[in-house]
A and B are shown apart, each in its own frame.
Chain A
Amino acid sequence: LAKTTQPISMDSYEGQEVNITCSHNNIATNDYITWYQQFPSQGPRFIIQGYKTKVTNEVASLFIPADRKSSTLSLPRVSLSDTAVYYCLVGDWTSGTYKYIFGTGTRLKVLA
């Protein structure tokens, strides 16, 4: 089961780009990489998912190098409302479904 490692916390200022890197050295061939965001008193919310190279959607980009042992979530021009905990997950494909295991996450604080 692939384990992920992320920084515990990060601070940024409004308008800056934030990059959060996750290490997953034991990622398996069929594993996908998924990022979630969680605000206080809410359930985690899906941000982005990818397998290799680069994925972009309306809120973030995900960069995955060729060896897939790490990934970087990029949040462009953050605002105060992006203050949250961000989790990197590596999907463990078991019995036809993913077993999503959450690590400690990265607590991002956006300052004015």
Chain B
Amino acid sequence: DAGVIQSPRHEVTEMGQEVTLRCKPISGHNSLFWYRQTMMRGLELLIYFNNNVPIDDSGMPEDRFSAKMPNASFSTLKIQPSEPRDSAVYFCASTFREGRGFFGPGTRLTVL
């Protein structure tokens, strides 16, 4: 198994541009999580899905952030428009029920 796959690994964009981060969870996992990590705020849970349905998006910072999971094997996190304060590492993780969570390698986003 390839593990959780995230793309791109690095993204540099200018303020105001739209950014789309992608995640492919491990096959068979039924829960998917999006996290953001910064030095100041640590690891923050943004949103998570169970069986492709968003369960809790209370961690999404603003309306500029949106996430979708159209099927069990794909999810996106979109930021539109992006701002410099969105610069962070974004992680995707997947789990099966109460089992161990597997994290992807992350996407390092830099907004200039």
Contact residues of A with B, CB < 8 Å? Answer: 32, 34, 36, 41-46, 49, 87, 91, 93-105
Contacts and interface: CB of A to CB of B under 8 A. Distances in A.
Contact of A46 (B43, B56, B97, B102): B102
A42 B105 CA distance: 6
A46 to B, nearest CB: 4
B34 to A, nearest CB: 12
Interface of B: 4, 30-31, 33, 35, 42-45, 48, 50-51, 55-56, 91, 93, 95, 97-98, 100-106
A49 B100 contact: yes
A83 B101 CA distance: 21
Contacts, number: 63
Given A97-B50, A99-B48, 7 more contacts: A32-B98, A96-B50, A96-B97, A97-B48, A97-B98, A102-B42, A102-B45
At the interface, is chain B mostly helix, strand, loop or mixed? strand
A99 B56 contact: yes
A97 B100 contact: no
Contacts of B42: 102-105
Contacts of A43: 4, 91, 93, 103-106
Contact of A97 (B31, B44, B45, B91): B31
Nearest to B32: A97
B55 A46 contact: no
Contacts of B48: 97, 99
B98 A94 contact: no
B101 A46 contact: yes
Given A43-B103, A94-B55, A99 B45 contact: yes
A39 B92 CA distance: 16
A98 B98 contact: yes
B30 A97 contact: yes
A91 B45 contact: no
A37 B30 CA distance: 23
